[in-house]
Chain A
Amino acid sequence: MINRDFSKSGKQYIKQNKIVLITLAIILLLGIIMLCVFGFKGGPDVKGYNTFSITVGSEYQADKLGDYTDDINLCLSNHDAQLYSVQVAGEGSTTTLVVKYDGKIKNTTLFNAELSDEMVVSVSNFSEHSKVGASLTSKDYIYAFACGLIIVTLAVIYSACRYNLACAITALGSSIFGVGLLMALTAIFRLTINSSFLAINIITLLLILGECFMIFDSLEKERNKLKDKNDRSTQLANTLKSNAFRQKFMYGAIFALALIFIVLMPSSIKQASLIVLFAVVVSMFVAIYALPFLWCLTITQVSDKIRVKKEKVVKTKQTVESAEGELENNYTENQVIEVKEDSGDESPSSDDNITIE
């Protein structure tokens, strides 16, 4: 299990979670390799399909559609082809089953004869097998990418303006990591992708960014409650605690729904639902582990530096003002020297004379 003690420094945290982080790195690397070597496993929208139609005419019985599909599936798998879908076209004497499949059938005459024997309904005519091209074009991928880019950019700008730079970096890092992980898992498990894959990636982005905003809001609230504003560890622990129920409930609900879809739907929707399932797991992982870790890492690196600088400037001003006030009030050289001694430096305006909590 992952150690969620985020109070440790980045290096210590990485050391403690070595195995998990190495596993993640392997998944991402494996995903990249799979993508480079095999690419995504495209469905009918992505790489097109072969199709033929079977005229069954008025002998067609709607309640036997499942049997027809099983027969067609069996024959296609005997010829190393994979069934995508069976659709019913026309009505009455023109009722036709339109079959879409992946793979190349070498001897279509033999296949048609086998299918004719196998089918529980007599077939009056087989159409020629023809190739239908992909309906998704390269433009669609570019548009999807552009869409994701605009959403992330807007979210990052919003995070930077509303919260701080560390939150903006966290939102950016979480989004990239989440979508990257989803793509890697899709490539590794060879899940078939179709046009809905583009939307699922955007869902993942939205879930992650939504989670970022929720967590950032909670962090702000928790910080306001704390006496020690720089107690990151307590701040984050309280935030995670207050969000735990919502996270479990939300991801549990989507997860359960994706499972229902997987059980109920035809194979093409089943594949898309499986990717949704991965998207939920990835978003949940990002929400519970990656996001807090990234925030911890960046807040100490970025935000604290800025805050320390700001506080230094404010304190310096306060020190100078109080020193001047005291000088005006007391007119004694000794007290001026005391102030200088308190600061530990000759110059009261120097940055180094402030002790930050």
Chain B
Amino acid sequence: MTKNRSKMLIILLTIVLIVGLVASFVSFTYPLSIGGVKYQYSSFVNELVLGSDINSGVMFKYNATARNVSDEQDYDALMDNTLSGLRDILDDSGFKNSTIARNGDNGVYVEVGGIIDRDDSQEVISLISNPQQLVFSSSSDSSDTDAIFATSSDISSIEALQAPDGSAYYVEITFKKDRLNYIKQKTEEIVGDSGTFYMLVGDQQMGSSTTAITTSSISMTTKDFIDMATTKKYAVQLRVGLLPLDLTCTYYGAISASAGARGNVANPMLYIWVALGIMVVASLVFFILKYKQIGAMAMFNILFYIVLGLFFLQSVPLVHINLSGVFAIVLSYVLAVVALTNTLESARQEYAKGKKLHTSLKQGINSTVVSTITINVMLALAGIVCALMPNMAIQSFGIVTMVLALLNIFCSQALMRLMIKLYLPFNSEDGKKCNFTKEEGNN
């Protein structure tokens, strides 16, 4: 590579890096408006999905009551099923970073994390703050309890679906097998008397039918089901209503991180950024002091690693960063720095033995290929195993580890090779500029 070409590429990469760093850390409003609307750019850091342990979330408190007297005897078991059911609903709705626990004797406490902005918190509030009880009745009057022949407890699942031709959205309600015959029989009786049966949610009539139920499931649609998101939201509200215990939301609202306050700062995420910042600055200073010019290229590499890492962490849909995720970031970052240090140390050793600078650098990176790939592939595999686990702490750790390990292979091998290639036209002989010295007798 010629010196000029190398210079040009370095300038180009520097521009890309600066743009990347701005995109990673700076949120701003676009100066030009489109159709009179000014759009806001949200940085990669802003878009990271953070857990409720290190960042704010939404808190819910529910009263949980048994539906009938016989249920009260099995209250504890029903409570366990309610908690796990609620977890499933939140997981399915994309709010995996949640804490769900029993609150007192008859309560449920929920803290939902992974809230990026106000819209997210409003979404989760609209999903689970208003559990809906669905009943099937021969009367359109919800207060006529004698007319009710099926309730949420007779339903096994509720799912939001779209018609195959894409024309409509609907909620499919599947009945429990042991209750199906009874429900079929009741609807046949009602329809046989030229009557109508109704699907009611609270005081609201959601649908009616003059045809008896003949299959295990029934579809329900309303004019409100304008898109999949609305239909799903409705299905989730009905699913919360299916839980074994009746939940009444007594409180909901935004709450700061569950790890608690430190000093006057409500969310520890600020301190985490400070700690990570110290780590990054320290490693960059280390590279410059220890390896001078080639250290600057390694610093360049590390900055690319940070930008790409933030980009992937905010764009890979399953990434949720809680405290375990932060530890995964620290581990991965240290291993990325270690991989580069290994390369430069190997090069230094080769140079000390009497080899030329360009040969030393190339051999340095070649000698670390196997170990870097082995370690990072192991990390990525371990990450995949962890990501498959249902526990959020392990899952978060796994996904972050996997993403950053794969990125580390790219940065420490492919990108660093490029950096060395770009550096050599400027200096392929003088080891002193890289703080490399030859051993006595190898001059």
Taking Cβ atoms with an 8 Å cutoff, the residues of A that contact B are 44-45, 48, 51, 62-66, 69, 84-91, 94, 98, 100, 128, 130-136, 139-140, 143-144, 146-147, 150-151, 154-155, 158, 195-196, 198-200, 202-203, 205-207, 209-210, 213-214, 217, 242, 245-246, 249-250, 253-254, 256-257, 260-261, 264-269, 272, 276
Judge whether B391 and A213 touch: CB under 8 Å.
no
Task: Taking A66-B263, A87-B260, A199-B397 as given, write out 4 further A-B residue pairs in contact, using a Cβ cutoff of 8 Å, ordered by the A residue number.
Answer: A66-B262, A87-B261, A132-B102, A264-B275
The distance in angstroms between the C-alpha atoms of A98 and B322, with both chains bound, is: 20
Q: Which 7 A-B pairs have the closest CB atoms?
A: A85-B260, A199-B324, A130-B104, A195-B393, A133-B102, A266-B262, A199-B397
Q: List 21 A-B residue pairs with CB atoms under 8 Å apart, sorted by A's residue number.
A: A66-B263, A87-B266, A88-B256, A128-B104, A132-B109, A143-B394, A146-B389, A147-B389, A154-B381, A196-B322, A199-B386, A199-B393, A200-B327, A203-B327, A203-B328, A203-B397, A206-B378, A253-B279, A253-B338, A257-B334, A264-B271
Bound CA span A126–B393, Å: 32
> Shortest Cβ distance from B65 into chain A, in angstroms?
16
Query: What residues of chain A lie closer than 8 Å to B330, measured between beta carbons?
Result: 254, 257
Point out which of A45, A91, A196 has the most chain B C-beta atoms below 10 A from its C-beta: A196
Alpha-carbon distance A268/B256, docked complex (angstroms):
14
**A246 contact from B107, B324, B338, Cβ within 8 A:** B338
Is the Cβ of B104 less than 8 Å from the Cβ of A131? yes
Give 1 or 0 for each of B251-262: 1 = CB within 8 Å of chain A CB.
001111111111
Residue from the list B53, B254, B260, B393 in contact with A89, Cβ < 8 A: B254
Interface membership of B283, Cβ < 8 A: yes
> Please, how many angstroms separate the alpha-carbon atoms of A113 and B322 in the complex?
36
Residues in chain B near residue A154, CB distance under 8 A:
381, 385
| A272 nearest CB neighbor, chain B only | B323
Inter-subunit contact B59/A261 (CB<8 Å): no
Checking B337, B341, B386, B391 against A140 with a beta-carbon cut-off of 8 angstroms, the contacting residue is B391
Residue of B whose beta carbon sits closest to that of A144 = B394
* Contact present for A264 and B274 (CB under 8 Å): yes
Q: Determine how close the nearest CB of chain B comes to the CB of A239; give it in whole angstroms.
A: 12
Question: A162 — nearest CB in chain B belongs to which residue?
Answer: B374
User: If A217-B371, A268-B259 touch, does A202 touch B394 (CB 8 Å cutoff)?
Assistant: yes
Total CB contacts across the A-B interface at under 8 A: 208
Chain A residues near B109 (CB, 8 Å)? Answer: 51, 132
B381 proximity list for chain A (CB < 8 A) = 151, 154
The answer for the CA separation of A196 and B330 in the assembled complex, in Å, is: 14
B residues near A (Cβ < 8 Å) are 53-54, 59, 99-104, 107, 109, 253-266, 268, 271-272, 274-275, 278-279, 282-283, 322-324, 327-328, 330-331, 334-335, 337-338, 341-342, 345, 349, 370-371, 374-375, 378-379, 381-382, 385-386, 389-394, 396-397, 401
**Contact at A85–B391, with CB atoms within 8 Å?**
no
Cα–Cα distance between A45 and B322 once the two chains are bound (Å):
14
Given A65-B266, A132-B102, A199-B394, also A266-B341 (CB < 8 A): no
B268 contacts A89, C-beta separation under 8 Å: no
Q: Are B327 and A198 in contact (CB under 8 A)?
A: no
Given A210-B378, A213-B371, residue A130 in contact with residue B107 (CB < 8 A): yes
Most central of B103, B255, B282, B324 by chain A CB within 10 Å: B324
| B255 in complex: contacting residue of A98, A206, A253, CB < 8 Å | A98
For residue A152, give the distance in angstroms from its CB to the closest CB of chain B.
10
A217 CB contacts on chain B under 8 angstroms: 370-371, 374
Query: Which residues of the other chain, A, contact B272 by a CB distance below 8 angstroms?
Result: 265
How far apart sit A225 and B266, CA to CA, in the bound complex (Å)?
A: 57
Q: Give A264 to B271 CA distance when docked, in angstroms.
A: 6
CB distance from A168 to the nearest CB of B (A): 14
CB pair A253 B104 closer than 8 Å: no
A296 to chain B, nearest CB (A): 21
Who on chain A is nearest to B283 by CB? A253
Question: By the criterion CB–CB under 8 Å, are B101 and A147 in contact?
Answer: no
C-alpha spacing A65/B393, complex, angstroms:
28
Distance in angstroms from A67 CB to nearest chain B CB is 8
Most buried by A among B255, B278, B394: B394
Contact A150 B385 (CB under 8 A): yes
A213, closest chain B residue (CB):
B374
CA distance A48 to B103 in the complex (A): 10
Q: Given A86-B260, A87-B266, A257-B334, verify A246-B100 contact (CB < 8 Å).
A: no
